[in-house]
Amino acid sequence: MFKEIIQGLGSKNKERKERFHEIDEEDRLHTIVEDRKKSSNERELERYLKEEREKKIKEQLEIVRKKRDAEINYLHNPINAKNITNHSDFNLLKEKKLFSDNKNMFAHNSSVLSRGNLGLCH
């Protein structure tokens, strides 16, 4: 049963690829026929116009890429992001210092001060 389902999916993908190939081939043939109907001067002019168009697209794409990189690298300031240190409801850094009253938290704990519990042998 499972094998049949997998084979069914594979055949659908294969049919889709074949259909795509057929449509692509038809489009190529159509383009060739249309180009042959044009004069050589018209084809040459279209080629130059296409090159200019591609050049402008490339320039605009580089501008957009640089702008995007600048936004990512410089405009996003992680310091201003809402997190534990600022702009949040949980103000950990604004709380009273928890350990300010005890200078040494182990001073009154005998189990920590005894040498026997530390594993030291003298």
Structure tokens that stand for 52 in this block: 């200019």
Question: 81-115: per-residue pLDDT in tens?
Answer: 665 555 555 555 566 666 666 666 666 666 655 65
Residue carrying structure tokens 């240190």: 85
Q: Record the tokens describing residue 93, joined without a space.
A: 């850094």
Distances, alpha carbon 17 to alpha carbons 4, 14, 22, 23, 38, in Å:
20, 5, 9, 10, 32
What distance in Å separates the CA atoms of residue 82 and residue 91, rounded to the nearest whole number? Answer: 11
Q: What is the largest CA-CA distance in the chain?
A: 104
- pTM, rounded to two decimals: 0.46
Task: Answer for the pair 61, 69: CB distance below 8 angstroms, yes or no.
Answer: no
pLDDT, tens digit, 9 for 90 and up, residues 56-83: 999 999 999 999 998 888 776 666 666 5
Map out the domains of the chain as residue ranges: 53-114
Residue whose entry in the numeric block shows the structure tokens 């659908």: 12
